[in-house]
Structure 1
């Protein structure tokens, strides 16, 4: 459909047109006021403003009710058709959004290791609600990029969005049980010197862990003397560590299932902090389907 230029200077206030359409349809300023949740005086003022602009009466009192004049009836009919087209367009767009899958943005690490393994539980409970997950480490604009919600890593403060704590993200050092078994018998994860017992093993950093070297130095280790191998993707890191290739430092949420299932064991754990994974959404635009997913997500955390 070809769009035509619109000169809004020729069109009265939309609030006034809306007030008049309701008054004309209901033959009552009071009924229009109740429908639009405004005062009787506001409706009357809007109608008078339109009459002043057009230079002719649009409504008149007939007995105890208001009725449209001939000019008012023509305007009311056109407005009814126009507002009807607008309403139809809004319903079509809303229905299209309701019919599409729930769109979620999450970091690749979190999507692969925390979210994806839990999705079967959601689909079992809600088989009629499709979900799409976009694993991307970049921070997306939810409205512009068409996402219903996102899982973000941080302190829970994103202006204009509602953030709810999903799961803590303090880091933990983990290894395959066979690697852990090679630690000295007097090794204790609670000892301040425990990190030194780990420096002889190969370390595989989580790719986005930019603080690992600082953390190691703070514990008295010398990263420059350690065997550290960097891999491009955390999926590769975890696969290698699960096979016994070395040690890694990961967010607890990412390796929790590995710990629960015994594929990995904890060697050192950092104290909890305000840094965590949060569900983030725009409260003004979240769809009913996305809200169902959000409720399930927090129950599954």
Structure 2
């Protein structure tokens, strides 16, 4: 392991010199780097291995950063470390700064210019629609490559975890797309319909919209919103299995486990081949619950690959919706 010199605590003479020269005093780089790595990687020993330092040196750097700042960043309980609220905010900003340094270095060296666009997306849309669109995009744009990561967890774009992200935002949901330093546009606002296997649909008999064999994603809130948009007040409980993901709820519907809600972006192929059918519930029609939104950093928004992909996906989405009106 490499031995680094200890980070010196802030001195009043150093502050005076910085102020007189018009500079802003900053903590020692080694302490910032150790602090960032500890809570990005999940522990002092992991950070020490990553930085190729002795774990005692990393621990000392973190302690000296607190001394330099004049306040606690970490709460300690035995061998467990956790960020204080102030420490969490500070770590978020420090991580973003290190990510920006890394990104600037890669960009200068040409690695980012020649690398793929890193796109994260919710799994259902990734599997059922987006993957095929990206293949068509790359065929039409031989110089561009897109690396797709299906995930329910949105990336931290401030630290360049991804270049862009697409997910579904419900109109009545708690999360709003975008934020500081980000730009977004709506890819599509698809209608959502009830679907099931042909066997389940034919076995339903007289349909009571309040007592279907419901299939849910994370909870029953989507079905509740859909029923209310159709003028039907749902009962206190909408019984049915929780599938956690849109594509798993669709798979459960195909397997005959019940009735799911889905847009044609997710079930067009299944409807065409007959593994799913639309369930015609009396006094209801497909309803719009939200939209698919693409979000990216403002400073990456106009890069050639992202600009081209935005326009391509928007046109493909518009064509898809128009073909299914």
Q: State TM-score, norm by structure 1.
A: 0.57
RMSD of equivalent CA atoms: 3.8
Which of 162, 181, 184 is matched with 1:163 structurally? 184
1:219 alignment counterpart:
232
The aligned residue for residue 176 of structure 1 is: 197
Residue 163 of structure 2 is matched in structure 1 by: 148
Within the candidate set 281, 287, 304, 1:271 is matched to 287
For 1:207 and 1:242, locate their aligned partners in 2 and report how far apart those are by CA, in whole Å: 18
In the aligned structure 2, how far is the partner of 1:120 from the partner of 1:91? 26
- CA distance 1:135–1:10, change in 2 (3 Å): same
- The separation in 1 between residues aligned to 2:120 and 2:154, in whole angstroms, is 9
Match of 1:138, SS?
coil
Q: Which residue of 2 aligns with 1:33?
A: none
Kindly indicate whether the alpha-carbon contact (under 8 Å) linking 2:120 and 2:166 is maintained by their aligned counterparts in 1.
yes
Pairwise CA distance, 1:276: 0.8
Alignment of 1:94-105 (within 5 A): 95-105=110-120
Larger Rg: 1
Task: Give the secondary structure class of the aligned counterpart of 1:299.
Answer: helix
For residues 162-192 of structure 1, what are the alpha-carbon distances to aligned partners after superposition, in whole Å with 9 as ceiling and x for unaligned? 22221114432111223223344xx6xxxxx
1:213-271 Cα deviation digits (max 9, x unpaired): 565587255464x6512234443322221133321123453334433444322225443
The alignment status of 1:93 with 2:108, answered yes or no, reads: yes
Q: Distance in 2 between matches of 1:211 and 1:240?
A: 16
1:130-158: per-residue Cα shift (whole Å, max 9, x none)? 22122222333323133221113235752
Matched residues in 1 for 2:210 and 2:201: separation? 9
Tell me the equivalent position of 2:214: 203
Number of residue pairs matched by the alignment: 213
Pick closer, same or farther for the CA change 1:284–1:227 going to 2, 3 Å.
Answer: closer
What are the Cα deviations for residues 41-76 of structure 1, in whole angstroms up to 9, with x where unaligned? xxxxxxxxxxxxxxxxxxxxxxxxxxxxxxxxxxxx
Which segments of 5 or more consecutive residues in structure 1 lack a partner in the other structure?
13-88, 188-193
- Alpha-carbon separation, structure 2, partners of 1:249 and 1:126: 35
TM-score, scaled to structure 2: 0.53
> Structure 2: which 5+ residue stretches go unaligned?
5-16, 24-103, 318-325
Aligned mates of 2:294, 2:240 — CA distance in 1: 33
Q: Retained in 1: the 8 A contact 2:155–2:161? A: no
**Higher RCO (C-alpha 8 Å, min separation 6):** 1
